[in-house]
Structure formats: structure tokens, C-alpha cells
């Protein structure tokens, strides 16, 4: 341990208390649980856990004094992208989980103000019953509301674009200065969480997926509870139906007929939530097509499966359903599985379906059982225009490359209004060194190939953040030059999350 780090740790203990400074074996939870290689590559040297903004400012002051790099996390549960591990080995993790207050819930205007340690479960419980407003949970409800929003995470309700439904931040800059964005810049503001821009430049987006400051409070808009809902699912019989599914779906999303995020899932992605791979295939390499076909028939799913939810009065929901069904009838073999219309106070049974009515769950982690052993996954997340030809090209390429590395295509698309997130999880058994290496190598191979084809990532694992950032290369990487200029101005000592999103001091 360097003298500077030793002195910094002593100062952290004086400022925060001994129990708020972790070293040694207490750092095990800060290792990447899904590392596709040696987790020690991104191991921290310590972790500090402040309880309030003043403590955050104290940590920043000490880090600046001793030039100790920090890596800030809300709760550190961004699994498949690195968890709580820092980009730079030996950094001190600034863990904000003890800052877990729900500052406000406005049941008239429909917003909440939270600190970084507040999870989707916490906020959901605080909304009470009957719920006048819903939170939109991501796939795993144990994560931080702030953390997921800052990473531009997604859920499945009409409020599924979390970054778009954020309004107002409190940020501590590297020099300890506290800034409130938008209308919050007025000391006596009465509209901080209802009007995002404020007066003059708007800075909220600058603190998403960046290392320009530490967000300590965030306003989030909540979805008004509808009168009722209907969960719908389509199963499509053929692998080559994807292009037609996307092109049929796109106008229904554009004109608002389908209000929720629409999720298109491959057969393996669906099956991994309800079964184990060995039930269908236990041989080497990727699952062969005949095994996938047998699996889909026995489970009762399609080669592609579409989930969405309709909200509102029953007459309106039925009208939307009829329009949607008429459009999808043109796809041969499409089967509609329609759940009954339910009052909004009635909860669905399935975990994936519960998310569509604003109820956090952990069903997404079922995928870890797919390959057996110590289940893990690393994700590849390219953006795709909602065009059938682009979706088919992306899915075909990922499937072929995954098979070359002996892995299955666990993939799907979440369609918003004008873009789709293509999420592919390279699922592997961490007890198997060959599978672990293959997963990491596959993600890097895909990223290079997709970048060359003009498909950029919206999120990336620690190990490939620099590669993902390098592909945004217009005008000799002008965007990164701008980011580094801002970084230098706000954080001249480079203490805040160096290397995050490829932004270095």
C-alpha cells in the first residue's frame, strides 16, 4: 500500500468513522461477480460509505489532497457490466448505499425525490396501497433508482425509459461544490421536479454515464396507475419472422397503440427463465436448431416471443388489442396469448409480467441457472433502429458469432418509440475457465464487428468501455475531446471514476 493511500484511509476513518471504511476481505462484495476472467483485474483497494452530502464532500476533499482515485456506485448492482468494481485497479469505491432516504413522494403531481441507496423495492413499498402511482422497475428490482437511471436503464411500462422520466438532480462536483440542476437552482423553487430545463443550459444529461460529479439526489416521475391493464404475448413460429415482427410493431409503437415498451425475446431467452439447458441439450457447443425446436414445442413458446401490456379502461384496452391483433394476423403462425383484463389493483402472477404493472421482482436472475455451475453473464448492448432488416442482421450476426464461441443466443429487443435496445447475454459457467474466456472474447469480437457496421453500444462492461467509446469517432473523436475538456475543467486531479465510459483525466 502506498503512503498516499495509507494516509488517505486514515483521513477517511477520521471523517467517516471506522465502520465506514472497508479493506481486506470486506472488499469481496466489490469484486465483479460475473467477471469473464480474473475478477482481481478490477479489484479496489478500499471502500468508503458516507451517510450524507457533507460526508461525500469530506471524501472528495481527502481524495483530492492525496490524489486517490474514487469509483462511485449507488449500490453497485450493475451486474453483467462490472458490478461495483472500479475501472482502475486499486481505486477506492465511493459506495453511496447508506444514503438511502426517500426525500419526497408527491401523490398529486406524481414524482419522487430519492438518494442513491434507494432501491426500486424501497420506492415501490413507500408508494403504499392502493397505489395511485407506479414505479417502473428494471429487470432486477434490487438495484438503485439513481444508479439505473444514470446508466440510462430500461423497464417495460410506458415510463420504461428511465432517463427520460428523470427531473432534477443534486450533484456534488469533484471540488466539493453542490449544484442543483434545472429549477432546483432556485433556492426557493416550487417546480424542481416538474420542469427539467430551468433557465439557461440544461445539465442533467451531462451527469448520466459520466464521471463529472456525484449525484446525491434525483427526481423521478411516476406513472399514474391506470384503471386496468391487459398483458399480451405473441409467439411466432419461425426464426426468420423477426424482420416482419419489427416492421409490424414499429407503427403500433409510433402512434401509441402499444403504450408499454415492447419486448421481443428469443426462444432461449424465454426458456432460460423457466428451465435449464440440460433439459434440452447437454452436448458441446451452442444448442443445435433441432434441440431449440423441440424445446419451443414442449414449453409452448415461439422462436420469437413478443410481450407488451395495454392500459386504461376496458373498452379502450379491447379496442387497442383488436387493432394489434389485426396487424399481426399477417404473420403466418403467429399465436396470441391474451391474459384477462384486470383492475389495476390486481397483481399478475408471473415475475416478468409483474414488472409491466410496476412491481419489482428478481425473476431475471433465473437465467443464471441456464448453463449450470456458478452462473454468470456479460452483456452486449447495441442500439438498433426499429427496422426489420437491421434487427434481423444484428440477431443473425450475434447468433453466428456466439455459436463460434460455443455459446447460445440469449437475446432480444426492447422497442421504445424510435429505437430498440438489443440485449444479448453471454451466459457462462464461471467454474469453467474455457466458457469464461469465451464469453469475454465473444463480447469484444461482437463490439468490433458491430462498430465497423455502424452499430454503437449504449452500455458496456468495464473491460471494454474504452473500446466502446473509441467507436464514437466522428471528426477524429470530437465527442471524446469535448468530454475530456469538461473532465479537466471539473476534475483537474482526475479523482472521480477515471476511465468510466472511456473518459480519462
How far CA 251 is from CA of 246, 308, 388, in Å, comes to: 9, 15, 12
Q: Which of the residues 57, 399, 430, 459 is marked catalytic? A: 459
Q: Which residues of 18-46 are buried (b: 16+ CB within 10 A; e: fewer)?
A: eebbbeeeebeebbbbbbbbebeebbbbb
Write the CB contacts of 41 (distance below 8 Å, at least 6 apart in sequence): 35, 89, 463
Structural contact between residues 264 and 245, judged by C-beta atoms closer than 8 angstroms: yes
Backbone angles phi, psi at 345, to 5 degrees: -80, -10
Quick check: is 459 catalytic?
yes
Q: Which of the residues 132, 180, 342, 458 is marked catalytic? A: 458
Quick check: is 458 catalytic?
yes
Quick check: is 410 catalytic?
no
Q: Which of the residues 30, 57, 66, 81 is marked catalytic? A: 81
How far CA 338 is from CA of 187, 249, 307, 341, 348, in Å, comes to: 51, 17, 10, 9, 13
SS3 of 112-145: EEECCCCEHHHHHHHCCCCCCEECCCCCCCCCEH
For strand 46-48 and strand 21-22, is the pairing parallel, antiparallel, or unpaired?
antiparallel
Angstrom distance (rounded) from CA 458 to CA 109: 31
For strand 223-224 and strand 133-134, is the pairing parallel, antiparallel, or unpaired?
antiparallel
Active site residues: 81, 458-459
Amino acid at each position: 500500500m502506498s503512503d498516499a493511500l495509507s494516509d488517505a484511509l486514515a483521513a477517511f476513518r477520521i471523517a467517516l468513522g471506522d465502520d465506514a471504511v472497508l479493506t481486506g476481505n470486506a472488499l469481496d462484495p466489490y469484486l465483479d461477480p460475473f467477471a469473464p476472467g480474473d475478477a482481481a483485474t478490477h479489484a479496489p483497494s478500499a471502500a468508503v460509505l458516507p451517510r450524507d452530502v457533507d460526508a461525500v464532500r469530506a471524501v472528495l476533499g481527502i481524495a483530492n489532497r492525496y490524489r486517490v482515485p474514487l469509483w462511485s456506485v449507488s449500490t453497485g448492482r450493475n451486474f453483467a457490466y462490472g458490478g461495483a468494481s472500479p475501472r482502475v485497479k486499486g481505486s477506492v469505491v465511493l459506495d453511496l448505499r447508506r444514503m438511502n432516504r426517500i426525500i419526497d413522494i408527491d401523490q398529486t403531481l406524481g414524482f419522487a425525490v430519492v438518494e442513491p441507496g434507494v432501491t426500486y423495492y424501497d420506492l415501490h413499498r413507500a408508494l403504499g396501497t392502493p397505489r395511485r402511482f407506479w414505479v417502473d422497475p428494471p429487470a432486477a428490482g434490487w438495484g438503485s433508482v439513481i444508479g439505473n437511471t444514470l446508466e440510462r436503464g430500461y423497464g417495460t411500462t410506458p415510463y420504461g425509459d428511465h432517463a427520460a422520466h428523470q427531473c432534477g438532480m443534486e450533484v456534488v462536483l469533484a471540488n466539493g461544490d453542490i449544484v442543483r440542476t434545472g429549477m432546483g437552482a432556485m433556492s426557493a423553487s416550487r417546480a424542481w421536479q416538474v420542469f427539467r430545463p430551468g433557465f439557461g443550459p440544461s445539465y442533467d444529461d451531462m451527469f448520466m454515464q459520466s464521471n463529472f460529479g456525484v449525484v446525491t439526489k434525483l427526481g423521478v416521475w411516476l406513472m399514474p396507475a391506470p384503471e386496468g391493464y391487459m398483458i399480451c404475448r405473441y409467439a411466432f413460429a419461425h426464426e426468420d419472422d423477426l424482420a416482419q415482427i419489427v416492421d409490424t410493431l414499429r407503427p403500433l409503437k409510433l402512434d401509441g397503440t402499444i403504450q408499454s415498451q415492447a419486448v421481443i425475446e428469443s426462444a432461449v431467452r424465454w426458456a432460460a427463465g423457466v428451465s435449464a439447458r440440460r433439459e434440452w441439450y447437454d452436448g458441446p457447443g451452442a444448442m443445435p436448431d433441432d434441440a431449440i425446436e423441440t424445446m419451443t414445442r414442449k414449453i409452448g413458446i415461439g422462436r420469437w416471443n413478443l410481450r407488451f401490456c395495454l392500459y386504461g379502461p376496458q373498452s379502450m384496452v379491447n379496442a387497442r388489442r383488436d387493432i394489434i391483433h389485426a396487424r399481426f394476423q399477417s404473420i403466418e403462425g403467429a399465436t396470441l396469448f391474451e391474459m384477462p383484463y384486470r383492475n389495476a389493483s390486481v397483481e399478475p402472477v408471473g415475475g416478468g409480467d409483474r414488472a409491466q404493472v410496476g412491481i419489482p421482482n428478481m425473476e431475471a436472475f433465473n437465467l443464471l441457472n441456464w448453463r449450470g455451475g456458478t452462473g454468470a453473464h456479460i452483456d452486449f448492448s447495441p442500439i438498433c433502429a426499429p427496422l426489420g432488416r437491421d434487427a434481423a442482421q444484428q440477431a443473425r450476426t450475434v447468433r453466428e458469432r456466439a455459436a463460434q464461441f460455443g455459446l447460445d443466443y440469449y437475446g432480444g429487443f426492447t422497442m421504445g418509440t424510435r429505437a430498440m435496445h438489443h440485449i444479448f447475454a453471454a451466459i457462462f459457467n464461471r467454474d469453467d475457465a474455457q466458457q469464461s474466456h469465451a464469453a469475454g472474447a465473444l463480447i469484444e469480437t461482437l463490439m468490433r464487428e458491430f462498430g465497423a457496421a455502424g452499430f454503437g453500444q449504449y452500455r458496456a462492461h468495464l473491460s471494454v468501455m474504452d473500446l466502446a467509446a473509441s467507436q464514437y469517432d466522428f471528426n477524429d473523436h470530437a465527442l471524446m475531446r469535448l468530454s475530456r475538456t469538461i473532465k479537466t475543467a471539473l476534475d483537474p486531479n482526475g479523482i472521480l471514476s477515471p476511465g468510466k465510459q472511456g473518459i480519462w483525466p
